[in-house]
Amino acid sequence: MSASPTWSLHTQLQKDTIDIGDLPLSRVLVVKDAHYPWLMLVPRRADAIEIIDLDEVEQGQLMTEINRVGRALKEITKCDKLNIAALGNVVPQLHVHVIARRSSDAAWPRPVWGVMPPLAHDAGEVQAFMTELRRKIWLG
Amino acid sequence: MSASPTWSLHTQLQKDTIDIGDLPLSRVLVVKDAHYPWLMLVPRRADAIEIIDLDEVEQGQLMTEINRVGRALKEITKCDKLNIAALGNVVPQLHVHVIARRSSDAAWPRPVWGVMPPLAHDAGEVQAFMTELRRKIWLG
**What CATH number has the domain bearing residue B72?**
3.30.428.10
- Strand blocks (E) in A25-87: 26-31, 38-43, 81-86
Q: From chain B, pick out residues whose CB is under 8 angstroms from the CB of A70.
A: 50-52
Is B17 a member of any domain?
A: yes
- Strand blocks (E) in chain A: 17-22, 26-31, 38-43, 81-86, 96-101
Residue B132's domain spans which residues? 11-136
Is A27 a member of any domain?
A: yes
| pLDDT digits 0-9 by tens, A83-110 | 999 999 999 999 999 999 999 999 999 9
Is B6 a member of any domain?
A: no
User: Looking at the 3D structure of chain A, how many domains does it have?
Assistant: 1
Provide the shortest C-alpha distance from residue A62 to chain B (in Å).
9
- Predicted TM-score of the model (pTM): 0.96
Provide the shortest C-alpha distance from residue B82 to chain A (in Å).
7
Q: Which of A71, A89, A109 is opposite residue B90, by nearest beta carbon?
A: A109
Percent of the residues in chain B that have a pLDDT greater than 70, as a whole number: 96
Q: Taking a contact as any Cβ pair under 8 Å apart, which residues of chain B between 11 and 70 contact chain A?
A: 49-52, 56, 59-60, 62-64, 66-67, 70
Is A5 a member of any domain?
A: no
Query: Are B52 and A63 inside 8 Å of each other by CB?
Result: no
Cα dihedral across residues A120, A125, A128, A129: positive or negative? negative
The number of angstroms, rounded, from the C-alpha of B120 to the middle of its chain's C-alpha atoms is 17
| pLDDT digits 0-9 by tens, A31-78 | 999 999 999 999 999 999 999 999 999 999 999 999 999 999 999 999
Does residue A132 surpass a pLDDT of 70?
yes
| pLDDT digits 0-9 by tens, B33-49 | 999 999 999 999 999 99
Is B89 a member of any domain?
A: yes
Provide the shortest C-alpha distance from residue B30 to chain A (in Å).
19
- Residues of chain A by 3-state class (helix, strand, coil), percent to 5: 35, 20, 45
> Is ipTM > 0.90 here?
yes
- Which amino acid, residue A63? M
Residue B129 contacts residue B95 (beta carbons within 8 Å)? no
Is B4 a member of any domain?
A: no
Residue A40 sits at φ, ψ, to 5 deg, of: -140, 140
Residue B9 contacts residue B92 (beta carbons within 8 Å)? no
Is B60 a member of any domain?
A: yes
Q: From chain B, pick out residues whose CB is under 8 angstroms from the CB of A113.
A: 110-111
Is A130 a member of any domain?
A: yes
